[in-house]
A and B are shown apart, each in its own frame.
Chain A
Amino acid sequence: MPHLSRASFFTSRKHKPSSTKMATLTMSRPAVAGFSFENCRRNVILEGEVNNLGCSLPAARKTGTTICGVVFKDGVVLGADTRATEGMVVADKNCSKIHYISPNIYCCGAGTAADTEMTTQIISSNLELHSLSTGRLPRVATANRMLKQMLFRYQGYIGAALVLGGVDCNGPHLYSIYPHGSTDKLPYVTMGSGSLAAMAVFEDRYKPDLEEEEAKRLVRDAIAAGIFNDLGSGSNIDLTVITKGNVDYIRPHDEANKKGVRTGDYKYKRGTTAVLSKCVTPLDLEVVEESIQTMDTS
């Protein structure tokens, strides 16, 4: 702990402190093992207060989902659907479920959308620092260790079910990681609400040492089984093919479902929305940056 002398601390300030106590020094404590129960009491109180008002706390958005991975001759193929649901309504028709961990490792995520997103980003960041420290390309087993230790620490409260795949100095590796922190190292894995449909396809057609095109077809068909037979999965199929020294991030690999074409014209003429009053306030702003983000207006 850095030692600050009281004299030097006060002479640098202009204010006259009324007490002779030292001002509080904020410093991050080293990471403590085990689950931190700090916020539980506050959460119980908050939940009670909100329920008294007649509302309920917002439910986290889950992704429904079918994700899978397969190890083939030269590497791994990861696949995912692209539907995110909020209850039984589709919240996002084309979300990305295959997350970057490191140049040679990618991770598909099912479960609570925010949890999969943040967990993979945290591990990706820590893995980059680790890789700079070791001077080597990160290994899939390292990413697996980091993910399972974090998820176990949170005792399953982080709802992230992951399929982690990559190629490192020891060859291609594939892991499935469950929200409570258990992992399985297997040649083919599926996760999410559509995992049974996808696994049915794998169990039928998987064999060791597949060629790249065969493996891509197998993963595509497994995700398609999830998309068509599971209500929580849908829209398109994203694939990621990882081999030694090369990653193909194919989004979308297959647009399995296109929006139906509407025959009517639903454009509104100017003036259809009634303007009740108008008040124009000019603002003095300078344009710093302009960017365009397309949205689906079909």
Chain B
Amino acid sequence: MLSAQGFGGPGKMKEYHYAGAVENRFSPYAFNGGTVLAVAGEDFAIVASDTRLSEGYSIHSRDSPKCYKLTDTTVIGCSGFHGDCLTLTKIIDARLKMYKHSNNKTMTSGAIAAMLSTILYSRRFFPYYVYNIIGGLDEEGKGAVYSFDPVGSYQRDTYKAGGSASAMLQPLLDNQIGFKNMEGVQHLPLTQEKAVQLVKDVFISAAERDVYTGDALRVCVITKDGINEQTIPLRKD
């Protein structure tokens, strides 16, 4: 688009002050890209993320998954600024240990979610630039997904996409899992096989159109038998 910034009036260009005071702000944040997705089923939960770490137009790493295992029944996916993702997961791990030592039990998914909300809000005026999604099993063994914003607002969901391609994935999940905008379709409960297949297909589409998503997909399936991880390749361009 033509910029009229250099135009100071008819017949004149604006005066440029080459030696004048120029303020170059240092930004404490960077955007490292990445997409995270979580789906809750009847007796399972899935947390998936791509493994590309980028900055600007470059790729830092093709093998940097964004899913972090917290307990045997909970996995968290963090995308946004990688520095804050690492610090936040370290803090959560420390708090989990403290809870275990003082209460003699492992934190439940719901408790971790509530705790994360307070951790994030404690930095309300210099936030952690991280989009979090927690996936796990609740006390009754049912799948649970908790989605957060960078300052700690959270809610329990059935499915949620976060990160750079979230705007592309969320409507697709609303349609395929939430059966939104469809008439006369049977609302079948989501099986584990169908959910894993859907997650893989949805990331293939995200990698087509979002430049920050690609390289590989890490899928963590959480059931009462433990956490099962799979890695499948995606587009590398």
Contacts and interface: CB of A to CB of B under 8 A. Distances in A.
B183 A273 contact: yes
B204 A259 contact: yes
B174 interface: no
Interface string B179-202: 001111100000000100110110
Contacts of A33: none
B119 interface: no
B197 A263 contact: yes
Nearest to A296: B208
Most B CB atoms within 10 A — which of A59, A228, A233, A274?
Answer: A228
Contacts of A93: 208
A60 B1 CA distance: 6
Interface stretch (A1-9, A16-24, A36-44, A175-183): A36-44
A40 B201 contact: no
Contacts of B182: 268, 272-273
B1 A58 contact: yes
A32 to B, nearest CB: 15
B81 interface: no
Contacts of B7: 37, 40-41, 43-44
A57 B1 contact: yes
Interface stretch (B53-61, B120-128, B129-137): B53-61
Interface residues of A, number: 44
A157 interface: yes
B4 A43 contact: yes
A272 B99 CA distance: 49
Interface in B1-26: 1-4, 7, 10-11
A228 B237 contact: yes
Contacts of B235: 234, 257, 259-260
A42 to B, nearest CB: 9
A83 B237 contact: yes
Contact of B211 (A39, A88, A261, A264): A88
A234 B4 contact: no
B207 interface: yes
Contact of B210 (A88, A232, A264, A274): A88
Nearest to B12: A37
A41 B7 CA distance: 8
| SS class, residues of chain A in contact with chain B | loop
Contact of A90 (B4, B58, B181, B211): B211
A40 B212 contact: no
Contacts of A272: 182-185
B1 A262 contact: no
B237 A262 contact: no
Interface residues of B, number: 36
Contact of B212 (A47, A231, A261): A231
A157 B7 CA distance: 13
Given A37-B7, A231-B211, A157 B2 contact: yes
A269 B185 CA distance: 9
A257 B211 contact: no
Contacts of B4: 40, 43-44, 47
Contacts of A54: none
B224 interface: no
A200 B54 CA distance: 20
A41 B10 CA distance: 7
B58 A89 contact: no
A34 to B, nearest CB: 13
B1 A263 contact: no
A88 B237 contact: no
Interface string B194-227: 1001101100110111111000000000000000
A162 interface: no
Given A231-B212, A261-B204, 20 more contacts: A37-B11, A41-B10, A60-B1, A64-B57, A89-B209, A90-B209, A228-B236, A231-B56, A232-B57, A232-B211, A234-B211, A235-B237, A257-B236, A259-B235, A262-B201, A264-B198, A264-B201, A269-B185, A272-B184, A273-B181
Q: Which 4 interchain pairs have the tightest Cβ spacing?
A: A234-B237, A260-B204, A262-B201, A231-B211
Interface of A: 37, 39-41, 43-44, 47, 57-60, 64, 83, 85, 88-90, 93, 157, 193, 227-235, 256-257, 259-264, 266, 268-269, 271-274
18 contacts: A39-B2, A43-B4, A58-B1, A60-B1, A64-B57, A64-B211, A83-B237, A88-B211, A157-B3, A227-B237, A228-B236, A228-B237, A229-B58, A231-B56, A260-B207, A261-B204, A264-B194, A264-B201
Interface of B: 1-4, 7, 10-11, 54, 56-59, 164, 176, 181-185, 194, 197-198, 200-201, 204-205, 207-212, 234-237
